[in-house]
Protein backbone atom coordinates (compact mmCIF):
# COMPACT_ATOMS: atom_id res chain seq x y z
CA UNK A 1 0.00 0.00 0.00
CA UNK A 2 2.87 2.39 0.84
CA UNK A 3 4.48 1.67 -2.55
CA UNK A 4 1.18 2.22 -4.39
CA UNK A 5 0.72 5.50 -2.53
CA UNK A 6 4.18 6.94 -3.16
CA UNK A 7 4.20 6.31 -6.91
CA UNK A 8 1.10 8.50 -7.37
CA UNK A 9 1.43 12.14 -6.22
CA UNK A 10 4.15 11.10 -3.79
CA UNK A 11 3.81 9.74 -0.25
CA UNK A 12 0.72 11.76 0.70
CA UNK A 13 -1.74 9.04 1.73
CA UNK A 14 -3.89 9.77 -1.33
CA UNK A 15 -4.32 5.99 -1.70
CA UNK A 16 -6.40 6.04 1.52
CA UNK A 17 -9.06 8.50 0.30
CA UNK A 18 -12.33 6.69 -0.36
CA UNK A 19 -14.94 7.57 -2.96
CA UNK A 20 -15.71 7.19 -6.66
CA UNK A 21 -12.82 7.76 -9.08
CA UNK A 22 -10.20 7.84 -6.30
CA UNK A 23 -6.87 5.97 -6.41
CA UNK A 24 -8.36 3.38 -4.08
CA UNK A 25 -10.83 2.43 -6.82
CA UNK A 26 -8.27 2.15 -9.64
CA UNK A 27 -7.65 -1.31 -11.10
CA UNK A 28 -3.98 -1.55 -9.98
CA UNK A 29 -5.12 -0.97 -6.38
CA UNK A 30 -8.12 -3.30 -6.32
CA UNK A 31 -6.30 -6.02 -4.39
CA UNK A 32 -4.77 -3.81 -1.69
CA UNK A 33 -5.60 -4.75 1.89
CA UNK A 34 -5.04 -3.27 5.33
CA UNK A 35 -6.98 0.00 5.16
CA UNK A 36 -8.66 -0.91 8.44
CA UNK A 37 -5.26 -1.16 10.15
CA UNK A 38 -4.35 2.40 9.16
CA UNK A 39 -7.81 3.68 10.12
CA UNK A 40 -7.53 2.04 13.55
CA UNK A 41 -4.10 3.57 14.20
CA UNK A 42 -5.41 6.99 13.14
CA UNK A 43 -8.42 6.73 15.47
CA UNK A 44 -6.18 5.93 18.43
CA UNK A 45 -3.70 8.71 17.62
CA UNK A 46 -6.43 11.32 17.18
CA UNK A 47 -7.73 10.44 20.65
CA UNK A 48 -4.32 11.18 22.18
CA UNK A 49 -2.86 13.96 20.03
CA UNK A 50 -5.45 15.28 17.55
CA UNK A 51 -4.27 16.89 14.35
CA UNK A 52 -0.59 15.98 14.84
CA UNK A 53 0.24 12.71 13.06
CA UNK A 54 -0.56 12.46 9.35
CA UNK A 55 -2.04 9.44 7.65
CA UNK A 56 1.00 9.47 5.35
CA UNK A 57 3.33 9.07 8.34
CA UNK A 58 1.13 6.35 9.84
CA UNK A 59 1.34 4.43 6.56
CA UNK A 60 5.15 4.78 6.44
CA UNK A 61 5.53 3.64 10.06
CA UNK A 62 3.04 0.77 9.76
CA UNK A 63 4.90 -0.46 6.67
CA UNK A 64 8.17 -0.63 8.58
CA UNK A 65 6.49 -2.35 11.55
CA UNK A 66 4.81 -4.95 9.34
CA UNK A 67 8.21 -5.91 7.91
CA UNK A 68 9.66 -6.23 11.42
CA UNK A 69 6.71 -8.36 12.56
CA UNK A 70 7.31 -10.64 9.56
CA UNK A 71 10.94 -11.19 10.60
CA UNK A 72 12.64 -8.43 8.62
CA UNK A 73 15.11 -5.78 9.77
CA UNK A 74 13.97 -2.42 11.14
CA UNK A 75 14.91 1.02 9.83
CA UNK A 76 14.53 4.59 11.02
CA UNK A 77 11.52 6.28 9.42
CA UNK A 78 11.77 10.05 8.88
CA UNK A 79 8.43 11.70 9.73
CA UNK A 80 6.80 15.05 9.08
CA UNK A 81 4.77 14.23 5.96
CA UNK A 82 1.43 15.91 5.43
CA UNK A 83 -1.60 14.43 3.70
CA UNK A 84 -2.72 15.28 0.19
CA UNK A 85 -6.16 16.55 -0.75
CA UNK A 86 -6.36 15.03 -4.25
CA UNK A 87 -6.89 11.41 -5.29
CA UNK A 88 -7.62 10.56 -8.92
CA UNK A 89 -8.05 6.99 -10.16
CA UNK A 90 -6.61 7.63 -13.63
CA UNK A 91 -3.28 8.72 -12.13
CA UNK A 92 -2.71 5.17 -10.87
CA UNK A 93 -1.50 4.41 -14.41
CA UNK A 94 1.85 5.77 -13.17
CA UNK A 95 2.29 2.58 -11.15
CA UNK A 96 4.58 -0.14 -12.50
CA UNK A 97 2.32 -2.78 -14.07
CA UNK A 98 2.40 -6.57 -13.75
CA UNK A 99 3.06 -6.88 -17.51
CA UNK A 100 5.61 -4.04 -17.84
CA UNK A 101 8.98 -4.85 -19.37
CA UNK A 102 12.09 -4.28 -17.27
CA UNK A 103 12.90 -1.24 -19.42
CA UNK A 104 9.50 0.30 -18.67
CA UNK A 105 9.84 -0.49 -14.98
CA UNK A 106 13.29 1.09 -14.85
CA UNK A 107 11.95 4.24 -16.48
CA UNK A 108 9.03 4.48 -14.05
CA UNK A 109 11.44 4.13 -11.13
CA UNK A 110 13.86 6.66 -12.60
CA UNK A 111 10.96 9.11 -12.95
CA UNK A 112 10.73 8.91 -9.15
CA UNK A 113 14.52 9.24 -8.75
CA UNK A 114 14.92 5.58 -7.89
CA UNK A 115 17.62 3.47 -9.56
CA UNK A 116 17.86 -0.14 -10.76
CA UNK A 117 19.02 -1.43 -7.39
CA UNK A 118 16.04 0.30 -5.76
CA UNK A 119 13.78 -1.45 -8.27
CA UNK A 120 15.09 -4.93 -7.52
CA UNK A 121 15.16 -4.26 -3.78
CA UNK A 122 11.64 -2.89 -3.53
CA UNK A 123 10.18 -5.66 -5.69
CA UNK A 124 11.84 -7.92 -3.13
CA UNK A 125 9.04 -6.82 -0.83
CA UNK A 126 7.14 -9.61 -2.57
CA UNK A 127 8.90 -11.91 -0.11
CA UNK A 128 5.68 -11.50 1.90
CA UNK A 129 2.10 -11.39 0.69
CA UNK A 130 -0.09 -12.83 -2.04
CA UNK A 131 -1.39 -12.05 -5.49
CA UNK A 132 -4.51 -13.03 -7.42
CA UNK A 133 -4.61 -15.74 -10.09
CA UNK A 134 -5.91 -13.08 -12.47
CA UNK A 135 -2.51 -11.40 -12.52
CA UNK A 136 -0.43 -14.39 -13.61
CA UNK A 137 -2.75 -17.08 -14.99
CA UNK A 138 -1.83 -15.99 -18.51
CA UNK A 139 1.63 -17.50 -17.87
CA UNK A 140 0.25 -20.95 -17.10
CA UNK A 141 -1.67 -21.99 -20.20
CA UNK A 142 -1.44 -19.67 -23.21
CA UNK A 143 1.52 -17.39 -22.64
CA UNK A 144 1.61 -14.59 -25.22
CA UNK A 145 -0.87 -16.57 -27.37
CA UNK A 146 1.61 -19.43 -27.84
CA UNK A 147 -0.76 -22.10 -26.55
CA UNK A 148 1.92 -23.11 -24.05
CA UNK A 149 3.03 -22.00 -20.58
CA UNK A 150 5.71 -19.38 -19.99
CA UNK A 151 8.99 -21.27 -20.63
CA UNK A 152 10.72 -19.43 -17.77
CA UNK A 153 8.54 -21.26 -15.20
CA UNK A 154 10.30 -24.24 -13.60
CA UNK A 155 8.63 -27.38 -14.97
CA UNK A 156 8.34 -28.92 -11.50
CA UNK A 157 6.65 -25.76 -10.21
CA UNK A 158 4.19 -25.36 -13.08
CA UNK A 159 1.75 -28.11 -11.91
CA UNK A 160 1.59 -26.46 -8.49
CA UNK A 161 0.58 -23.13 -9.98
CA UNK A 162 -1.88 -24.78 -12.36
CA UNK A 163 -3.53 -26.64 -9.49
CA UNK A 164 -3.87 -23.40 -7.53
CA UNK A 165 -5.15 -21.49 -10.55
CA UNK A 166 -7.08 -23.75 -12.96
CA UNK A 167 -7.58 -22.29 -16.44
CA UNK A 168 -11.25 -21.53 -15.83
CA UNK A 169 -11.07 -21.31 -12.03
CA UNK A 170 -11.55 -18.48 -9.55
CA UNK A 171 -9.51 -15.52 -10.83
CA UNK A 172 -9.58 -13.86 -7.40
CA UNK A 173 -7.94 -16.78 -5.56
CA UNK A 174 -4.84 -15.66 -3.64
CA UNK A 175 -1.45 -17.29 -4.14
CA UNK A 176 1.76 -16.59 -2.20
CA UNK A 177 4.29 -14.48 -4.09
CA UNK A 178 7.23 -16.16 -2.36
CA UNK A 179 6.67 -19.89 -2.71
CA UNK A 180 7.27 -21.63 0.61
CA UNK A 181 7.87 -18.44 2.61
CA UNK A 182 5.03 -16.03 1.94
CA UNK A 183 4.63 -15.00 5.59
CA UNK A 184 8.30 -14.40 6.42
CA UNK A 185 10.45 -11.48 5.33
CA UNK A 186 13.66 -13.07 4.02
CA UNK A 187 15.71 -13.42 0.83
CA UNK A 188 14.08 -16.65 -0.37
CA UNK A 189 12.12 -14.62 -2.94
CA UNK A 190 15.33 -14.13 -4.89
CA UNK A 191 16.21 -17.83 -4.65
CA UNK A 192 12.82 -18.60 -6.15
CA UNK A 193 13.56 -16.27 -9.07
CA UNK A 194 16.86 -18.08 -9.66
CA UNK A 195 14.97 -21.39 -9.67
CA UNK A 196 12.24 -20.26 -12.08
CA UNK A 197 9.66 -20.03 -9.32
CA UNK A 198 8.69 -16.39 -9.56
CA UNK A 199 4.89 -16.07 -9.64
CA UNK A 200 4.42 -12.75 -11.42
CA UNK A 201 5.94 -12.35 -14.87
CA UNK A 202 7.57 -9.06 -13.86
CA UNK A 203 9.15 -10.74 -10.82
CA UNK A 204 10.69 -13.52 -12.89
CA UNK A 205 12.00 -10.93 -15.37
CA UNK A 206 14.39 -9.71 -12.67
CA UNK A 207 16.36 -12.92 -13.15
CA UNK A 208 16.13 -13.16 -16.93
CA UNK A 209 17.09 -9.54 -17.67
CA UNK A 210 20.80 -8.77 -17.83
CA UNK A 211 20.45 -5.39 -16.13
CA UNK A 212 18.74 -6.70 -12.98
CA UNK A 213 20.08 -10.25 -12.65
CA UNK A 214 23.43 -9.24 -11.09
CA UNK A 215 21.60 -7.47 -8.26
CA UNK A 216 19.45 -10.55 -7.61
CA UNK A 217 22.62 -12.65 -7.61
CA UNK A 218 24.25 -10.30 -5.14
CA UNK A 219 21.36 -10.73 -2.71
CA UNK A 220 21.91 -14.47 -3.03
CA UNK A 221 25.58 -14.09 -2.14
CA UNK A 222 26.75 -15.75 -5.35
CA UNK A 223 30.54 -16.09 -5.46
CA UNK A 224 32.38 -13.43 -7.41
CA UNK A 225 29.86 -10.71 -6.64
CA UNK A 226 29.89 -8.23 -3.78
CA UNK A 227 27.17 -9.61 -1.56
CA UNK A 228 24.50 -7.17 -0.34
CA UNK A 229 22.37 -7.53 2.75
CA UNK A 230 18.78 -7.55 1.52
CA UNK A 231 17.41 -6.51 4.91
CA UNK A 232 19.72 -3.49 5.15
CA UNK A 233 19.25 -2.45 1.53
CA UNK A 234 15.48 -2.82 1.76
CA UNK A 235 15.32 -0.35 4.63
CA UNK A 236 17.55 2.07 2.70
CA UNK A 237 15.38 1.81 -0.41
CA UNK A 238 12.19 2.24 1.62
CA UNK A 239 13.47 5.47 3.17
CA UNK A 240 14.36 6.72 -0.30
CA UNK A 241 10.95 5.77 -1.68
CA UNK A 242 9.16 7.26 1.33
CA UNK A 243 10.69 10.65 0.48
CA UNK A 244 9.08 10.84 -2.97
CA UNK A 245 7.34 14.21 -3.45
CA UNK A 246 6.36 14.54 0.21
CA UNK A 247 4.20 17.43 1.41
CA UNK A 248 5.59 19.41 4.34
CA UNK A 249 5.14 22.78 6.04
CA UNK A 250 1.83 24.34 5.03
CA UNK A 251 1.25 22.08 2.01
CA UNK A 252 -1.55 19.56 2.31
CA UNK A 253 -3.19 18.91 5.68
CA UNK A 254 -3.31 16.51 8.62
CA UNK A 255 -6.45 14.49 7.94
CA UNK A 256 -8.72 13.75 10.85
CA UNK A 257 -9.99 10.65 9.08
CA UNK A 258 -7.66 8.92 6.63
CA UNK A 259 -10.41 8.00 4.18
CA UNK A 260 -11.58 11.60 3.65
CA UNK A 261 -10.09 15.06 3.23
CA UNK A 262 -10.95 17.50 6.01
Rg (CA), the chain: 19
Say whether 203 counts as a known binding-site residue: no
Please answer whether residues 60 and 79 qualify as being in contact, where contact means their C-beta atoms are separated by less than 8 angstroms. Answer: yes
Say whether 39 counts as a known binding-site residue: no
Say whether 178 counts as a known binding-site residue: yes
Report how far apart, in Å, the C-alpha atoms of 247 and of each of 10, 14, 136, 156, 236 are: 8, 11, 35, 48, 20
C-alpha dihedral sign at 191, 192, 196, 202: negative
Q: How far apart are the first and last CA of the chain?
A: 22
Please answer whether residues 235 and 75 qualify as being in contact, where contact means their C-beta atoms are separated by less than 8 angstroms. Answer: yes
Say whether 127 counts as a known binding-site residue: yes
Say whether 5 counts as a known binding-site residue: yes
Eight-state DSSP code of residue 247: B
Say whether 126 counts as a known binding-site residue: yes
Give the Cα separation of 145 and 154 in Å (integer).
19
Please answer whether residues 53 and 45 qualify as being in contact, where contact means their C-beta atoms are separated by less than 8 angstroms. Answer: yes
Give the Cα separation of 118 and 209 in Å (integer).
15
CA 7 to chain centroid = 10
Task: Indicate which residues carry an active-site annotation.
Answer: 4
Give the Cα separation of 46 and 62 in Å (integer).
16
Give the Cα separation of 101 and 106 in Å (integer).
9
Q: Which residues contact 125 (CB under 8 A, 6 or more apart)?
A: 3, 234
Say whether 96 counts as a known binding-site residue: yes
Residue set of the binding site for substrate:
96
Q: Binding site membership for heme b: which residues?
A: 126
Annotated binding site for Ca(2+): 5, 8, 10, 12, 14, 23, 127, 178, 186
Known binding-site positions? 5, 8, 10, 12, 14, 23, 96, 126-127, 178, 186
Amino acid sequence: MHFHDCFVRGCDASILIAGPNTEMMAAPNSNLRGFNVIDDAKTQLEAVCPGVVSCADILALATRDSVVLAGGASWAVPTGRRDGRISVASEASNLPGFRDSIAVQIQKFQDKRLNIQDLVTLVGGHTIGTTACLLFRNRLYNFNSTGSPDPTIDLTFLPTLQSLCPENGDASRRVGLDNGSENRFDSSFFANLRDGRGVLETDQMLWSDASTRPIVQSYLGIRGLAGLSFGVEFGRAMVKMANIEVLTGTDGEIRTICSAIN
